[in-house]
Every structure is written in structure tokens, then in C-alpha cells.
């Protein structure tokens, strides 16, 4: 009887330890994100640790969020380029994608309808792989004219509504037009500019990661 009692006690303790280990694993598992974008995501002319993805990852971790953000930004990339590399730029095991593309389309005067079509196809690829997307919006440069702006500026919201995505309206919010937060080219954010972008983007990113973590439980 003593042996049976001891054996039963051992089984109960072992089960408790196993359950505790599983819970700890679930709580400490790092959410894997990929930032798919252009030079704004890549961190043009900046050290790797000052890029948007690096600063966002650090900001999230500082708030106790377990996350890793891979930088799949390519300077000069368009939505067509992003579509061509979407599959291999976002590996299996990715939990979510921050999609930031379209600025170079506008700078090159690519038809907004083409930009929307490409982004739609990229999002569809990730949906087919069950990878959630956080869509970062952009605004057309004023020099492209009113007609172009009207056709371009609404495409991100349309895609967010169509695919029921989390969306951040304007990726360069707080930095566009602020010389002190830009490189000498007057287009790309410097490290301080990216810090401003991350600060404003952070609440949306927190919600995005939380939704992914809750879904995986």
C-alpha cells in the first residue's frame, strides 16, 4: 500500500511539473514577425540596430512582449518586387507580417490600380498560409497631383476592409516633412525619425502581436 501511495504521489507530481513546463513554454514562446517592405523598413543608410524592425522589436521587448522581427526590407522595392519575393522572404513558421510597400510605386508614378492589385495578391498569399498581416499605409507625394492622390490614398483602407486587416494609416506619420528627423535626401527617416515612427506604431504592433499570441493558445 505504501508503494502504491508513493507511486501515485510521484505520478501526480510529475504531471504537475509537466503541466507547469507546458504553461511556461506557452508564455515564453517568442512571436516571429517579418517586416516586408522597402527602404523605410530596411533602414536606408543606417546601422542594422537602428532600423525600424530593430527599434520596434526593442520597444516591444521593453514592454514585456516576447517577439522577434526579421527585416525583409529591400531599398527601392516596389509592390511588384514584393509580390515576386513574398514567398521566400517570409519563411514557414512566421507568425505575422508587417507589410509596408507602395511608396516607391508612387514615386515612380505607377498606376495606383496596379499597386492595389499587387498588394492584394501579396496579402492573399499570406492569407493562404494563415499568416496575419499588419498593413502599413502610405500617402502619395503632393507633387503627383490631386487625381493621382485620390486614386492612391484610399487603396490601403480598401485592402484593409476587404481582408479585415489591422492597418496603420500612414507609416511616415510624424516624420514626413520634418527635416530634423530625415536624412539629407529629405525622404528617408534618420534614426531619430525611425524612433518617432516606432513610438507611434507601437500600440498597433502591441495589439497585433497580442492577437497572434491569443489565437495560438
Contact 135, 168 (CB under 8 A): yes
Q: Exactly one of 38, 77, 95, 188 is catalytic; which is it?
A: 188
**Which residues are CB-neighbours of 197 under 8 A, at least 6 positions away?**
52, 171, 172, 173, 174, 175, 189
Q: Exactly one of 163, 184, 185, 216 is catalytic; which is it?
A: 185
Contact 71, 38 (CB under 8 A): no
Q: Exactly one of 39, 77, 95, 105 is catalytic; which is it?
A: 39
State yes or no: is 39 an active-site residue.
yes
State yes or no: is 184 an active-site residue.
no
Question: Residue 54: in which H helix or E strand, if any?
Answer: helix 52-62
Distant-in-sequence contacts of 140-144, Cβ < 8 A, 24+ apart: 140/106, 140/112, 141/106, 141/107, 144/106, 144/109
State yes or no: is 188 an active-site residue.
yes
Give the active site residues: 39, 185, 188
Amino acid at each position: 500500500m505504501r508503494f502504491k501511495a508513493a507511486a501515485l504521489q510521484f505520478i501526480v507530481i510529475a504531471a504537475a511539473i509537466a503541466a507547469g513546463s507546458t504553461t511556461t513554454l506557452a508564455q515564453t514562446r517568442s512571436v516571429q514577425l517579418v517586416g516586408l517592405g522597402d527602404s523605410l523598413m530596411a533602414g536606408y543608410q543606417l546601422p542594422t540596430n537602428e532600423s525600424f524592425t530593430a527599434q520596434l522589436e526593442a520597444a516591444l521587448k521593453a514592454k514585456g512582449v516576447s517577439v522577434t522581427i526579421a527585416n525583409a526590407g529591400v531599398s527601392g522595392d516596389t509592390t511588384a518586387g514584393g509580390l515576386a519575393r513574398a514567398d521566400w522572404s517570409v519563411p514557414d513558421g512566421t507568425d505575422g507580417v508587417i507589410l509596408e510597400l507602395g511608396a516607391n510605386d508612387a514615386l515612380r508614378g505607377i498606376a495606383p490600380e496596379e499597386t492595389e492589385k499587387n498588394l492584394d495578391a501579396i496579402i492573399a498569399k499570406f492569407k493562404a498560409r494563415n499568416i496575419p498581416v499588419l498593413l502599413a499605409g502610405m500617402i502619395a507625394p503632393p507633387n503627383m497631383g490631386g487625381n493621382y492622390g485620390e486614386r492612391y490614398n484610399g487603396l490601403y483602407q480598401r485592402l484593409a476592409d476587404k481582408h479585415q486587416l489591422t492597418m496603420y494609416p500612414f507609416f511616415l506619420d510624424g516624420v514626413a516633412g520634418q527635416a530634423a528627423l530625415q536624412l539629407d535626401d529629405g525622404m528617408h527617416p534618420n534614426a531619430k525619425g525611425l524612433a518617432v515612427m516606432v513610438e507611434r506604431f507601437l500600440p498597433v504592433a502591441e495589439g497585433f502581436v497580442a492577437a497572434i499570441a491569443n489565437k495560438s493558445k
